[in-house]
Chain A
């Protein structure tokens, strides 16, 4: 695959690119779904593709009109033949010549690349392609998971099934300054979703886990029991009175808060004034006990990476330091325009421009158990599920559908659903009152329970 990316760079350079970078991706994977004890589906993936980003110089006669920056374009194909690569290069260069130059454009040369020794070291410690499962083993895990969940309680009477999957992905990156590297990654996942109650009283809940190796997955029984406990406890929900209250986000729902934060400190959104945190660098956003990190090399993180989508060496970034917004997430372009060092956050897919995203996000835990938080809060709402997309990224206004449990006199009393919670993210961040000790990983982010005061619930 490295061969294909290097070949593509050579073809693009010959076709007129001043600079270029390329990525190639090949994925293979298997998954099996079982429902009510029988196989419901078997799926097999075998995909490959290559993507090119090429930069061209502005013709001299256009300097006065367009400035003397560089213009670029991107394209991808699943046709890896020599003919396919030539067509791709010609297409990209033709498109780049129409694209408008940007004086701040950062071509793929001179990034802070990892050394050959670092690449080699990473391959020794991180690369693997075997997730450790066969289709039969995955099937056995899925069957055991569903069976355990269905047997947990007589109220559980239907299933959306259990799903087990495993696969590997290979990614090659090459830039025209001679940097070339290859990643291999395997992963496995197991999930189950069950239903309790009947008719209009039905409830569904689920649990899932994903890990780099099947051996690191939570056991089928653990995943099953979590899904089963969750669905049973939400039966017979009521509503609640509208008003201001403290909301506790359990780790599963608190991950969405991390997502909203990283969208708002995305350097590209900041440059475009599309974020409510555009002017917030150095400001105290959270209480000073809050620290949030972007850590690209964590034993439990699925987002580990040695270098980012531009070949920039990744390092840990403290995003929120003692409550203060310490940096924006940047690729090289955003870093240049925002005049801060690149955070190694370029994300590159086969198609389209570079995006910006964190590696592994960790909201550093506090010391309270969730039970102790609930006891301290006294009255409020524990949110266990959120639906909808009611986030205005430019104002921070927040309004989402929710279900969970009422907190009365320091304990969880009854399930509620059909309500909304609303506020403004900037105010919500400032009103974090408690951070739990129950740090929980979900793929590439880890978060504890979080309590936020002063949110508005709409119910009855």
Chain B
């Protein structure tokens, strides 16, 4: 496949001119962020691929940072006049001081790419994608006669970004992202249930189609839906919980990940703000955020400020040792950016965000972890979660879970929300499996109205106490 060649979508002179008018002499930081993004999506329902859509958008975000203040303006109009207007708006946070010295735009430090610089849709025409969805529909219906509805979608996005920093350094990244989702509705004796599965990452659609993922996800969706047909009410109350490996890592994302983002800690609004160097988890627990894993959904060659992504250890053997930082929060806290400055697009301001967040493996076998459960819940898969970073209360909701007695699975239970405290829950982890797995590439994280792709991972773990929000008392 041919590599994609990108050029700045606007003349270098115009960018230079804009920078010099945007940046006051006493600015701490600032940049122009030029993005051209396109996406394509096909969706099947009721046996027909009748929703095909595409979008393309390009624009420029202008940013000025001074102390704790940030000015951000964007325009969809790639014209020098619109750009200059955005630059002036971004400068509104600064005083009337003189302009910064003019800079020459030059290539920034080259960073080896973690993914191919391709439009992921190249080489796979619409009819090929349509045929795949139709094939998956047939597969799902053939797997179980109780399947009544099949929804399948395949999407690709392609984002070409240029960052021109205050010092003129020009950084460039081309980010492919693909995703396939399947969900089914099953019905038996008038009772309906649903199950879904999917995956993807930063690679080409061809790879997604050629792999065995789509067929596996169909089987998984049908298995989950039919399993839920026989689910009992979940218990209500506080009890031990075993989390399976992989996507249940959303626990880490909600319970501690957001609470360790630099902005909340600089401002003292996170329950973790005064805990650096302190024990926040049981010994043996190590949690990292790693944006530098090749082709993962949450990975970035460089973040949206041009900082190379990295592996950041957040908790080492139970001790909190790091926060996730963008450039502004790092500077204000006397730290280094960890390459976690992210934005949904040029139309959004930079925030410190997670990439791929996971716990390292321990020594227990997953079988032993499950066998330790006298009476409790074994939660294998989850839907979404949410956290209040100030009180530390977090929730996540099961989509596949079982009631367990004496280490033996008794029956599946309906979806229930689990609730705990981020600063307490990791102290209660008493067993860590040797089976670390990352999720299949489906995570999207929301913060302050911005959505970004992320990943999570977890080995099988036992938590001695978590509140399970079922209906059975």
Which of these binds chain B: A35-43, A308-316, A372-380? A35-43
Min CB gap B270→A, angstroms: 9
For B39, the closest partner residue in chain A by CB is A351
A95 to chain B: which residues have CB within 8 Å? 52-54, 126
B70 to chain A: which residues have CB within 8 Å? 40-42
B71 to chain A: which residues have CB within 8 Å? 41-43
- Complex alpha-carbon distance, A408 and B396, angstroms: 29
CB within 8 A of B395: which of A44, A278, A388? A388
B391 to chain A: which residues have CB within 8 Å? 202-204, 403, 417
- Complex alpha-carbon distance, A415 and B419, angstroms: 17
Given A48-B77, A99-B52, A42 contacting B130 (CB threshold 8 A): no
For the complex, is B58 an interface residue (Cβ under 8 Å from A)? yes
Interface pair B73/A44, CB less than 8 Å apart: yes
Tally inter-chain residue pairs, CB-CB below 8 A.
269
CB within 8 A of A419: which of B68, B419, B470? B419
For the complex, is A422 an interface residue (Cβ under 8 Å from B)? yes
Min CB gap B392→A, angstroms: 7
Interface pair B390/A204, CB less than 8 Å apart: yes
- Complex alpha-carbon distance, A39 and B90, angstroms: 13
Given A200-B423, A204-B269, A78 contacting B470 (CB threshold 8 A): no
Interface pair B392/A200, CB less than 8 Å apart: yes
Min CB gap B339→A, angstroms: 22
For the complex, is B199 an interface residue (Cβ under 8 Å from A)? no
Interface pair B185/A274, CB less than 8 Å apart: yes
CB-contacts of B413-461 with A (<8 A): 414-417, 419-421, 423
Interface pair A44/B90, CB less than 8 Å apart: yes
Which of these binds chain B: A14-22, A142-150, A340-348, A392-400? A392-400
CB-contacts of B49-94 with A (<8 A): 49-59, 68-77, 82, 85-86, 89-90, 92-93
- Complex alpha-carbon distance, A99 and B44, angstroms: 10
Interface pair A421/B469, CB less than 8 Å apart: yes
For the complex, is B236 an interface residue (Cβ under 8 Å from A)? yes
CB within 8 A of B72: which of A35, A42, A387? A42
For the complex, is A77 an interface residue (Cβ under 8 Å from B)? yes
For the complex, is A410 an interface residue (Cβ under 8 Å from B)? no
For the complex, is B405 an interface residue (Cβ under 8 Å from A)? no
CB-contacts of A390-420 with B (<8 A): 390, 392, 394-395, 397, 399-401, 403, 417-420
For the complex, is A62 an interface residue (Cβ under 8 Å from B)? no
For the complex, is A12 an interface residue (Cβ under 8 Å from B)? no
Min CB gap B63→A, angstroms: 10
Interface pair B56/A78, CB less than 8 Å apart: yes
B89 to chain A: which residues have CB within 8 Å? 30, 42, 44
Interface pair A46/B52, CB less than 8 Å apart: no
For the complex, is A360 an interface residue (Cβ under 8 Å from B)? no
Min CB gap B305→A, angstroms: 16
Interface pair B390/A460, CB less than 8 Å apart: no
- Point out residues on A near B: beta carbons under 8 Å: 30, 35, 38-49, 51, 71-79, 91-92, 94-96, 98-102, 105, 135, 158, 160, 195, 199-200, 202-204, 242-244, 272-274, 278, 350-353, 385, 387-390, 392, 394-395, 397, 399-401, 403, 417-424, 456-460
Interface pair B194/A274, CB less than 8 Å apart: yes
For the complex, is B216 an interface residue (Cβ under 8 Å from A)? no
CB within 8 A of A351: which of B48, B53, B347, B417? B53
A199 to chain B: which residues have CB within 8 Å? 271, 274
B423 to chain A: which residues have CB within 8 Å? 200
- Complex alpha-carbon distance, A200 and B73, angstroms: 37
Q: Which of B269, B415, B421, B471 has the most CB of A within 10 A?
A: B471
For B472, the closest partner residue in chain A by CB is A456
Given A39-B69, A456-B470, A459-B467, A77 contacting B55 (CB threshold 8 A): yes
Interface pair B414/A42, CB less than 8 Å apart: no
Q: List 28 A-B contacts (CB under 8 A).
A: A41-B349, A42-B72, A42-B93, A43-B73, A44-B73, A45-B74, A45-B347, A46-B73, A46-B82, A47-B75, A72-B50, A98-B49, A100-B50, A272-B151, A387-B388, A388-B385, A388-B419, A389-B386, A399-B397, A399-B417, A401-B395, A417-B393, A418-B393, A418-B419, A420-B416, A422-B236, A422-B469, A456-B471
Query: Do most interface residues of chain A lie in helix, strand or loop, or is the interface mixed?
Result: strand
Min CB gap A417→B, angstroms: 6
Interface pair B48/A44, CB less than 8 Å apart: no
CB within 8 A of B49: which of A99, A105, A242? A99
A418 to chain B: which residues have CB within 8 Å? 393, 419-421, 467
For the complex, is B473 an interface residue (Cβ under 8 Å from A)? yes
Known: A76-B54, A105-B50. 17 other contacts (CB 8 A): A41-B72, A42-B71, A49-B57, A95-B126, A242-B237, A273-B149, A273-B187, A388-B396, A390-B397, A394-B192, A397-B414, A401-B417, A403-B391, A420-B469, A422-B234, A423-B471, A458-B419
Interface pair A401/B419, CB less than 8 Å apart: yes
For A354, the closest partner residue in chain B by CB is B51
Interface pair A100/B48, CB less than 8 Å apart: yes
Given A387-B386, A400-B395, A41 contacting B69 (CB threshold 8 A): yes
A40 to chain B: which residues have CB within 8 Å? 68-70
CB within 8 A of B384: which of A42, A79, A272, A388? A388
Interface pair A390/B469, CB less than 8 Å apart: yes
Min CB gap B354→A, angstroms: 18
Interface pair A400/B469, CB less than 8 Å apart: yes
Given A39-B69, A77-B56, A388 contacting B397 (CB threshold 8 A): yes
- Complex alpha-carbon distance, A73 and B50, angstroms: 8
- Complex alpha-carbon distance, A457 and B127, angstroms: 50
Min CB gap B90→A, angstroms: 7
B77 to chain A: which residues have CB within 8 Å? 46, 48
Given A399-B416, A399-B470, A75 contacting B53 (CB threshold 8 A): yes
- Complex alpha-carbon distance, A46 and B349, angstroms: 14
B237 to chain A: which residues have CB within 8 Å? 242, 458-460
B467 to chain A: which residues have CB within 8 Å? 418-420, 458-459
For the complex, is B193 an interface residue (Cβ under 8 Å from A)? yes
Given A46-B76, A199-B274, A41 contacting B93 (CB threshold 8 A): yes
B192 to chain A: which residues have CB within 8 Å? 273, 278, 394-395
Min CB gap B460→A, angstroms: 23
- Complex alpha-carbon distance, A39 and B267, angstroms: 14
- Complex alpha-carbon distance, A74 and B470, angstroms: 42
Interface pair A422/B267, CB less than 8 Å apart: no
A272 to chain B: which residues have CB within 8 Å? 45-46, 149, 151, 185
Interface pair B384/A242, CB less than 8 Å apart: no
A424 to chain B: which residues have CB within 8 Å? 471
- Complex alpha-carbon distance, A98 and B187, angstroms: 31
A100 to chain B: which residues have CB within 8 Å? 48-50, 130
For the complex, is B138 an interface residue (Cβ under 8 Å from A)? no
Given A388-B386, A401-B393, A420 contacting B417 (CB threshold 8 A): yes
Min CB gap B72→A, angstroms: 5
CB within 8 A of A397: which of B90, B93, B415, B420? B415
- Complex alpha-carbon distance, A352 and B343, angstroms: 22
Min CB gap B267→A, angstroms: 7
- Complex alpha-carbon distance, A43 and B69, angstroms: 11
CB within 8 A of B185: which of A30, A394, A401? A394
A77 to chain B: which residues have CB within 8 Å? 55-57
Min CB gap A143→B, angstroms: 14
Given A390-B395, A403-B393, A38 contacting B68 (CB threshold 8 A): yes
- Complex alpha-carbon distance, A417 and B388, angstroms: 11
For the complex, is B268 an interface residue (Cβ under 8 Å from A)? yes
B54 to chain A: which residues have CB within 8 Å? 73-76, 91-92, 95, 351
- Complex alpha-carbon distance, A416 and B390, angstroms: 15
A79 to chain B: which residues have CB within 8 Å? 56, 58
For the complex, is B311 an interface residue (Cβ under 8 Å from A)? no
Interface pair B73/A389, CB less than 8 Å apart: no
B58 to chain A: which residues have CB within 8 Å? 78-79
For B49, the closest partner residue in chain A by CB is A100
